[in-house]
């Protein structure tokens, strides 16, 4: 349903929201962001045992719950709202989608159940040095070895890349002749020649890593054909998922800001009674609601295999990126000095949206992509 949620979806959201409020108070967020792993493994297991988080959009025969992208969106939105620190984006979204789109059934049956149960985690490494979001910026090319493939080179901006048990790597097949000859490879975290370095990030609640490959043994996934389309589809699903996360975070930022504006007294009245402040809040609400309309629609389009889904994914990401950044910026502004302190929680959400607005392509990049995919000539 593109314009509303079902009662079941609303109930699911309600359960999630209560669960996450208990699991992920800001004290837990601060603990997780200060840790090297970035999340608490016991808590991650609990989430998956209780609510089947990681497999919400995975078919039942692979151990998942068999729901679709709208339900995945609900999970992402609520996690964004709670700023929950978990290997969800890397493992449950990026790696799981890469496997769903680019691996054989047998490979899916081999990898997915452990990801769904939370026993193991995975991630997707596709970007390299530089900051380009086009998959044609990939340069890494696999070599054939006696019993498989070897990878050399550097992958960057790998979400939870320092902790994932399995890394799905996008690189050219050895005999590649064109851009579509990208293949997906599975690399075990403990492989020889793989160096993993945790990058220092603006958003400490989301860990990014640099992975250096020196003749690392890799296993090629899929039927052997080009995987560029599978990678593109994976990134589209991930873009809509993080767009959900951003509208969830934006909603949390707006709500905490409005609450503060009602309570904070200056010049003998609550600051929320000044039009300069209340108009900002209303303008943020409008932007967030517009973004939600686009984000929910994009997920429904993915569930329905709508041919417009690729363009709609870019629209969702662009609108959510700008709305969330606006919500974060105004949240700090309206909180005033206290909002710029480390002890106040606003900066945690601000950093998440500041960073996620860039992840998987910023608003300008997605606007260009949207126009390319929708305008008749370009």
Partner 1 sequence: MNEYDEARVREDVRAWLAANWDPAAPLVDWRKRLADSGWGVPHWPTAWYGRGLPVALNKAIEDEFEAIGAVGVARIGIRMLAAATLLAHGSDAHKARFLRRILTGEDTWCQLFSEPGSGSDLAGATTRAEFDGSRWRVNGQKLWTTSAHHAQWGLLLARTDWDLPKHQGLSYFVIDMTQPGIEVQPLKQMNGYASFNQVFFSDAEVAAENLLGKVGDGWKIAMTTLAHERRNADALRRWGHASNRPGRIYDEERAEIATVMEPYKWYPQRAGRVDLVLPRAEETACIDDPVLRQDIARLLMMARAGEWLAQRARTAQELGRPEGPEGSLGKLAASHVARAAAAVHTAISGADAMLAGSDGPREGLVAEILLSVPATSIAGGTDEIQLNIIAERVLGLPREPRLDGGPFRDVPRNPER
Residues at the contact surface with partner 1, assessed by CB under 8 A: 2-4, 258, 261-262, 269-270, 272-275, 277-279, 281-283, 285-286, 289-291, 293-294, 296-297, 315, 318-319, 364, 367-368, 370-371, 374-378
Cross-strand partners of 172: 141, 182
Least Cβ distance, residue 201 to partner 1 (angstroms): 27
Task: Report in angstroms how near the CB of residue 341 gets to partner 1 at its nearest.
Answer: 24
CB of 60 to partner 1, least distance (A): 29
The two three-digit tokens of residue 216, written as one number: 């690392």
C-alpha dihedral sign at 360, 9, 84, 77: positive
SS3 170: strand
| Contact between residue 327 and residue 339 where contact means Cβ atoms under 8 Å apart | no
How many residues belong to the chain? 378
CB-wise, 355 or 374, nearer to partner 1? 374
Between 41 and 132, CB nearer to partner 1: 132
If we measure between CA atoms, which residue out of 246, 272, 198 comes closest to residue 89? 246
> Least distance (Å) from partner 1 to the CB of residue 10?
9
First-to-last CA distance in the chain? 31
Q: 173 vs 363, which CB is nearer to partner 1? A: 363
* In the complex, least distance from residue 79 CB atom to partner 1, rounded to whole angstroms: 22
Question: What is the SS3 assignment for 112-125?
Answer: HHHHHHCCCCEEEE
In terms of CB distance, is 216 or 323 closer to partner 1? 323
The residues, any chain, with a CB within 8 Å of residue 82's CB and separated by 6 or more, are 17, 20, 21, 23, 24, 248, 252
If the CB atoms of residues 31 and 374 are measured against partner 1, the closer one turns out to be: 374
Give the shortest CB-277-to-partner 1 separation in angstroms. 8
Query: What is the torsion angle, in degrees rounded to the nearest 10, for the CA atoms of residue 182, residue 185, residue 189 and residue 191?
Result: -110
Q: Which is nearer to partner 1, 142 or 271 (CB)?
A: 271
């Amino acid at each position: 349903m593109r314009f509303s949620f079902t009662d079941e979806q609303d109930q699911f959201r309600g359960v999630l929201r209560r669960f996450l409020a208990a699991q992920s108070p800001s004290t837990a967020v601060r603990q997780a962001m200060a840790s090297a792993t970035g999340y608490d493994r016991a808590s991650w297991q609990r989430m998956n045992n209780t609510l089947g988080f990681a497999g919400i959009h995975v078919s039942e025969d692979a151990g998942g719950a068999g729901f679709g992208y709208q339900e995945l969106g609900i999970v992402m939105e609520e996690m964004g709202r709670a700023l929950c620190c978990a290997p969800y984006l890397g493992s449950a979204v990026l790696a799981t989608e890469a496997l769903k789109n680019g691996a054989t059934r047998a490979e899916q049956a081999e990898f997915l159940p452990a990801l769904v149960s939370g026993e193991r985690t995975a991630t997707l490494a596709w970007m390299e040095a530089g900051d380009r979001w086009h998959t044609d910026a990939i340069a890494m090319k696999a070599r054939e070895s006696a019993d498989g493939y070897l990878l050399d080179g550097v992958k960057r901006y790998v979400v939870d890349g320092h902790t994932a048990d399995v890394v799905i790597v996008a690189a050219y097949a050895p005999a590649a002749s064109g851009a579509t000859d990208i293949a997906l490879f599975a690399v075990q975290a403990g492989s020889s020649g793989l160096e993993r370095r945790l990058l220092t990030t603006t958003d400490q609640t989301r860990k990014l890593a640099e992975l250096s490959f020196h003749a690392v043994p890799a296993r090629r996934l899929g039927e052997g054909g080009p995987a560029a389309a599978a990678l593109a589809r994976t990134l589209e699903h991930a873009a809509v998922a993080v767009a959900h996360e951003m509208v969830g975070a934006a909603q949390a930022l707006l709500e905490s800001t409005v609450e503060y504006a009602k309570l904070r007294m200056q010049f003998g009245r609550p600051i929320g009674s000044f039009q300069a402040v209340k108009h900002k809040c209303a303008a943020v609400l409008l932007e967030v609601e517009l973004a939600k309309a686009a984000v929910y629609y994009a997920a429904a389009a993915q569930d329905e295999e709508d041919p417009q889904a690729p363009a709609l994914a870019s629209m969702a990401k662009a609108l959510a990126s700008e709305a969330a950044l606006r919500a974060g910026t105004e949240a700090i502004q309206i909180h005033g000095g206290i909002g710029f302190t480390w002890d106040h929680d606003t900066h945690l959400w601000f950093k998440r949206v500041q960073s996620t607005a860039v992840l998987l392509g910023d608003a300008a990049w997605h606007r260009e992509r949207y126009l390319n995919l929708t305008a008749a000539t370009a």
